[in-house]
Structure 1
Amino acid sequence: MDFNFKEEQLAFADALKRWVTKDYSFDARRKIVHSPSGVSDAAWTTLVELGMTALPVPEEQGGFNGSALDMLVVMQELGRGLVVEPYLATVMGAEALKTGGGHPQLLEQVAVGELKLACAFTEKQSRYDLADIATTATAQDGAYVINGTKSIVLHGAQAGSLLVSARSSGAQRDAAGISLFVVPSSTAGVAITDFRTLDGLRAANITFTNVQLPAAALVGTEGTAWDTLEHTVDYGAALLCAEALGAMEAIFAATLDYLKTRTQFGAPIGKFQALQHRMADMYIHLEQARSMAILAAVKMASGDAAERRRTVSAAKFRVGQALKFVGQQAVQLHGGMGVTNEVMAAHHFKRLTMIELTLGDCDHHLQRFIAQPGFATDGEP
């Protein structure tokens, strides 16, 4: 396998890196995080101008038809710069539309930056079980009525349209009977409660009360959205692995710089062998995470759903282990400074912590990996 990135991929990454360095400084990010909306229209416009919103959209809808591997270099730089704009939520929504089929006009709007999306897949009782859906979609006179509540919807309040999973038939935890709908956030009966998360991003709890939707709001075929949901969340998990990789690279570099400049007993603390060993261990975790993040991005293009599930869960688990180790070691090596808001490493650590908990933590993905075909042989667990 060729692990070298293409020239176009490196150009995207370089453009993002230069923008983050020039215009998305630590102080600029802090102002955005504490603004009323928690995002920046100017930053979003720049992402659009750089082609980031068009990257994952099919060429037929004005995009570049970028793969998950193309997205890896983008997410890596966004993670390095701790960018808080609703990019992940939007590209996950676009992936759901691409996978489910239909709504090409929405993908066109995403490509030119006119529409932000959010995926309302989780509920308070479901944790990481995508099939545990209490929200209902009732067919009525050729249309649908949605009732229910979605929890911790990433950038739900900043989205123009929501991708909402709802149960149109079956029991609450059945994979069959789930439908996916496009719901404009301004639709009557949609109530959105916005809040800031630990890492400075935004999420929302969203309640749907007798929300009337036309039949055209349905994505794909009624009752068959499970495969689309699972694919979309795997795609998001692969992108989170890439974002974590960028954040780990940044916090590793910051820690190394700190060890070179912080002196104790008349010498930089980086000269102490015990600390050098800890940095070496951090580097090993980082490189193993890099390999798994790349593999997950490659396997997202696999036509074998079982292979995709197995690889993405393996990557999310291994990257989750790595980000815990790298983040915790970085905080300890920074000393008391490592947990103060005045130090960028503290914010990288917060983001890494949230990435571990988003779209399935280590325990969830370990169990999912074990449950895939081929793990157990000859009847042995």
Structure 2
Amino acid sequence: MDFKLTEDRQMLSDTLRRYLADQYDFETRNGLIETAPYHSPAKWAELSELGLIGAFVPEDQGGFGGAGFDITTVFEELGRGLCPEPILATLMSVRAAADCGAEELVEDMIAGAKRLTFAVFEPDADSLALIRTSADKSGDGWVLNGRKSVVYGLPGADGALVAARTEAGVGLFLVDSPETIDYAMIDGGGAGELILDSAAATCISEDAGDIIEAALDAGRLALCAEAVGVMEVLVDMTVDYLKQRKQFGRPIASFQALQHRAVDMAIEIEQCRAITILAASKLGTDEAGKFVAMAKNLIGRTGLLISEESIQLHGGIGMTWEYPGSHYAKRLSMIDHQLGDRYAQLHRVMAA
């Protein structure tokens, strides 16, 4: 099986890598993640112009990609660049909107004219079955009541696609001016609480349960690809440090025990890459949920291992704010907790 990127995907990967290296260096990132909206709207617009959002949507729905490998191509580079822009939320919202047939909304999002976030989970609801946010008809429109928790990319968003319970099931609604409580995430980027108190909403679909689950799986696949990119950079940093750090008059990279640990990390990355490729190949099929859950479970376990190993092999410097490796390790650890951690994914695999 040929795992090489197609010419178009390789071009997208190279373009994004160059952009992040030239325009979004480590110092730029750290200057953004501590103050609202915890990303750069100007950089967001530039990334939209590069065609990132269009890569998430199939051609027949207005984009130019939409396959699992288009998602992994983008997010692996975002992981390598440790980019805090709210692209994960955009991925899920634009795919859900496209699957619901909201053509005008998709067009605006691909063009970068509108940035939406994707609000599904609640303080006491980590699955669609437990959602308590309600949607009720009010005249010609709808009103929503409830609360959404840890909504990624919420600060500064133009609106939110909100999952809410209807008589038909779990529907999807557009809220243009939501009431929010914004905050920075510990590993970079912004999130927030979405307060829905008789909030006016536009119905996108009254029964969108399957569409929401598919969008969440696309987001989980994206996180797996991002983790692979983070792992590669972090292990490269660690190996480079081992070559420079000296003990007993020679580089510690010459110590066989440390060589073995570095090789073990490299092997783990290849396992994660392989299962992410498998999950990407299944996206859009009936088996997508199972294989994405398998990938995220392995990514979660491996991410913790590599973040801990890299810090131990670096010693004290691996914990400092000034050293990029500490931020990569933190992001790698936190990816596990987004959209369901490794234990939640294990339960999904068992159920499947």
- TM-score normalised per structure 2: 0.97
For residues 319 and 115 of structure 2, the distance between their equivalents in structure 1, rounded to whole angstroms, comes to 33
For residues 159 and 42 of structure 1, the distance between their equivalents in structure 2, rounded to whole angstroms, comes to 13
Query: Which residue of structure 1 lines up, in the alignment, with residue 9 of structure 2?
Result: 9
The answer as to 2:182 corresponding to 1:194 is: yes
8 Å contact from structure 2 (residues 134, 144) kept in 1: yes
What stretches of structure 1 move > 4 A for 4+ residues in a row?
A: none
Letter of the 1:181 counterpart: F
Instruction: Identify unmatched segments of 5+ residues in structure 2.
Output: none
Query: Which residue of structure 2 lines up, in the alignment, with residue 226 of structure 1?
Result: 209
For residues 251 and 234 of structure 2, the distance between their equivalents in structure 1, rounded to whole angstroms, comes to 19
Please report how far the alpha carbon of residue 60 of structure 1 lies from its aligned counterpart in structure 2 after TM superposition.
Answer: 5.2
Query: Which residue of structure 2 lines up, in the alignment, with residue 161 of structure 1?
Result: 159
Query: Which residue of structure 1 lines up, in the alignment, with residue 129 of structure 2?
Result: 131
For residues 292 and 63 of structure 2, the distance between their equivalents in structure 1, rounded to whole angstroms, comes to 25
Query: Which residue of structure 2 lines up, in the alignment, with residue 311 of structure 1?
Result: 291
Instruction: Identify unmatched segments of 5+ residues in structure 1.
Output: 170-175, 373-381
1:281-320 equivalences under 5 Å are 281-302=264-285, 304=286, 307-320=287-300
Query: Which residue of structure 2 lines up, in the alignment, with residue 324 of structure 1?
Result: 304
What is the root-mean-square deviation in Å for CA atoms of aligned residues? Answer: 1.4
Closer, same or farther: CA 218–165 of 1 in aligned 2, 3 Å: same
Query: Which residue of structure 2 lines up, in the alignment, with residue 102 of structure 1?
Result: 101
Letter of the 1:245 counterpart: V
8 Å contact from structure 2 (residues 117, 152) kept in 1: yes
- Residues 41-86 of structure 1: CA distance to partner in whole angstroms, max 9, x if unpaired? 2211221221112222343564213312112111000001110111
For residues 10 and 250 of structure 2, the distance between their equivalents in structure 1, rounded to whole angstroms, comes to 39
SS of structure 2 residue aligned to 1:208: strand
The answer as to 2:346 corresponding to 1:363 is: no
- Residues 318-353 of structure 1: CA distance to partner in whole angstroms, max 9, x if unpaired? 111111111110011010111111111110111111
Query: Which residue of structure 1 lines up, in the alignment, with residue 238 of structure 2?
Result: 255
8 Å contact from structure 1 (residues 91, 117) kept in 2: no
Query: Which residue of structure 1 lines up, in the alignment, with residue 198 of structure 2?
Result: 210
SS of structure 2 residue aligned to 1:51: coil
8 Å contact from structure 2 (residues 61, 98) kept in 1: no
Query: Which residue of structure 1 lines up, in the alignment, with residue 46 of structure 2?
Result: 46
8 Å contact from structure 2 (residues 317, 323) kept in 1: yes
Letter of the 1:68 counterpart: G
Query: Which residue of structure 2 lines up, in the alignment, with residue 343 of structure 1?
Result: 323
8 Å contact from structure 2 (residues 38, 155) kept in 1: no
8 Å contact from structure 2 (residues 171, 204) kept in 1: yes
For residues 277 and 22 of structure 1, the distance between their equivalents in structure 2, rounded to whole angstroms, comes to 34
Query: Which residue of structure 2 lines up, in the alignment, with residue 379 of structure 1?
Result: none
Query: Which residue of structure 1 lines up, in the alignment, with residue 146 of structure 2?
Result: 148
